[in-house]
A and B are shown apart, each in its own frame.
Chain A
Amino acid sequence: MAAPRAGYVYGVLTALCFGLSPILIKEGYVNLDSPVIGLSSGIASATLLFVLYLLPLRGWGDLLTMNRRALLFLTLSGLFVILGTIAKWLALQQAPVVLVIPLIQTTPLFTILFSLLFFRGSERITARVWWGGLLIAAGGVLVVLSGVMT
């Protein structure tokens, strides 16, 4: 797999979006303290945009004819990310932020580990990837615990 620069740019844009959304959610909580309604309204608006995208571009046809293996994995991907989101809420209800957030920041390390297990041969995991994951996880913990995100 080539590593075009665009992939790194998309990665940074992902971080930008994931970093901005909690700020918008916080504004929503000012008048409505309900994570369930917040998540439902948020994901429903994204669904609406995807429906609008798929309607004119014959995307529905692509959906019906797509590879079943790909469909299965993408369904699982959506399932896992929502299960993760729900588990995060529940975790924050049970334990303090100082315990929960550092553990969640280990996500890159689990991803690197699973990539090593499942994509051995097709995804090259170098020492720099491990060090990068460790430093980003540790830096994220320091930033979150410094209180700047609350």
Chain B
Amino acid sequence: MPRLRGRGPRWLIAGGLWDERRMLGVILALATAIFFALSAITARAGLEKTNTLLGTAINVFVGTLIVLLVLLGSGEARSLAGAKLSSLGWFAAAGVVHFFLGWAFRNASIQKIGAARAQTLAGTNPLVAVLLAVVVLGENLSPSLVLGVLLIVLGAYLISVSGEA
């Protein structure tokens, strides 16, 4: 198709539909998915003969080291002094739930049923937000939300009957 040669991608970018920032955002989002998947895969390899909590502790120690480097590099460490204790408390609670409990459960699950099944089940986490929105906030369920919930539940069911890993 000679008439389109050299026009497609350039038109998409210059036309505003795909500016460079969005393109970078898309690449970073895909990188996120790949990094999370690689994390599950390497955890599976590392946990073959290791205690789950010790393995999770190593994950968290490495993560802490990198995050501290980012904190120092960003210059935001100074604003820690003026930070409200309530905010730090919420963040600490989130850290305990996500990095201590969440990662320990994820690694325990990977150890027992493998990376593919464990990481896929972890992907059902948007259901928690739906449950809270409906039960606590009394929000109405839109048709797309109901469809989303049904797909997640059906997917989780298929994983649970997918046979031995």
| B142 surroundings in chain A (CB, below 8 A) | 146
Do the beta carbons of B29 and A104 come within 8 Å of each other? yes
Do the beta carbons of B128 and A16 come within 8 Å of each other? yes
Nearest neighbor of B119 in chain A, beta-carbon distance? A111
Cβ contact of A105, chosen from B38, B123, B156, B157, cutoff 8 A: B123
| B56 surroundings in chain A (CB, below 8 A) | 50
Inter-chain contact total with CB atoms closer than 8 Å: 479
- Give chain B's interface residue range (CB within 8 Å of chain A): 35 or more
Asked if B62 is an interface residue, CB under 8 A from chain A, the answer is yes
Do the beta carbons of A10 and B118 come within 8 Å of each other? yes
Cβ contact of A17, chosen from B67, B71, B86, B101, cutoff 8 A: B101
| B53 surroundings in chain A (CB, below 8 A) | 50, 53, 59
Q: How far is the CA of A62 from the CA of B142 in the complex (A)?
A: 51
Q: How far is the CA of A75 from the CA of B54 in the complex (A)?
A: 12
Among A12, A126, A136, chain B packs the most CB atoms within 10 A around the CB of A136
| B153 surroundings in chain A (CB, below 8 A) | 139
What's the least CB distance linking A23 to chain B, in Å? 7
Asked if B45 is an interface residue, CB under 8 A from chain A, the answer is yes
Do the beta carbons of B159 and A144 come within 8 Å of each other? no
Cβ contact of A11, chosen from B21, B122, B130, B152, cutoff 8 A: B122
Do the beta carbons of B116 and A129 come within 8 Å of each other? yes
Report which B residues bind A (CB closer than 8 A). 21-22, 24-26, 28-51, 53-64, 66-68, 70-71, 74, 76, 79-80, 83-84, 86-103, 105-106, 108-109, 111-130, 132-133, 139, 142, 144-145, 147-165
A-B contacts, 8 of them at CB < 8 A, read A15-B125, A17-B97, A18-B125, A24-B97, A31-B86, A53-B53, A78-B39, A118-B45
